[in-house]
Amino acid sequence: MDRKKFIQTSGLGLSFALFPGIANSKQFFENTETINNLKPKIIKDKEGEVLNVIGDIQTHKLLGSDTNNQIVEWVDNVDPGVGIPPHIHTKEDEIFRVIKGKIEIMIDNKSTILEPGDTAFAPKNVAHSWTVVGTEKAKMITSAFPAGIELMFRELADLPAGPPDFNKVVKICENHGISFVN
């Protein structure tokens, strides 16, 4: 089949035939151009920026600046008993994938234990929390989309060492659209 016949019989050719302005539309190709300007990135397991976010040791792998603010991804390496209290995001959804250890996760007042290979999704505006359970350190890959939450983590990591001032933590989180719930 020659190229002209293929285009005429394919869905793309049909789209261009039905909507001829689309082929020349800058708006149609704008997102593709933005995505094509992204630079590929390979991050090895031991690479990334490590932040101590109030006991949650995070290794940031992909930042908003890497992904046109589409997604941010980090690895949590957390000791037993460490966790994040119930909270609600108003800006981003999160995905949690356990690699090692056990995580008790609560989403929308339903708790379960995640083990290696398990994944959980916490959409924005839904309360969630997690805690490392058992005796083994846990490793979890967390993704948030859209990106931006990494800016909050940087502020929290920059707080003075020692027990955190909960009022400061609450204020920083509120500035990024996150509130704690009882």
Q: Which residues contact 89 (CB under 8 A, 6 or more apart)?
A: 122, 124, 125, 144, 149, 177, 178
Q: Do the domain assignments include residue 15?
A: yes
In terms of domains, do 86 and 62 share one?
A: yes
In terms of domains, do 65 and 142 share one?
A: yes
Instruction: Please state the φ and ψ torsions of residue 50, each to the nearest 5 degrees.
Output: -95, 130
In terms of domains, do 87 and 114 share one?
A: yes
Q: Do the domain assignments include residue 41?
A: no
Q: Which has the closest alpha carbon to 98: 72, 67, 130, 146?
A: 130
Q: Do the domain assignments include residue 43?
A: no
Q: Do the domain assignments include residue 44?
A: no
In terms of domains, do 14 and 61 share one?
A: no
Domains of the chain: total? 2
Please report which helix (H) or strand (E) contains residue 33, including its range: helix 26-36
pLDDT tens string, the chain, 182 residues long: the values are 565 555 555 555 445 444 555 455 555 445 555 556 899 999 999 999 999 999 899 999 999 999 999 999 999 999 999 999 999 999 999 999 999 999 999 999 999 999 999 999 999 999 999 999 999 999 999 999 999 999 999 999 999 988 889 999 999 999 999 999 98
- Confirm whether pTM is higher than 0.95: no
The CATH number covering residue 162 comes to 2.60.120.10
Name the residue range of residue 53's domain.
49-180
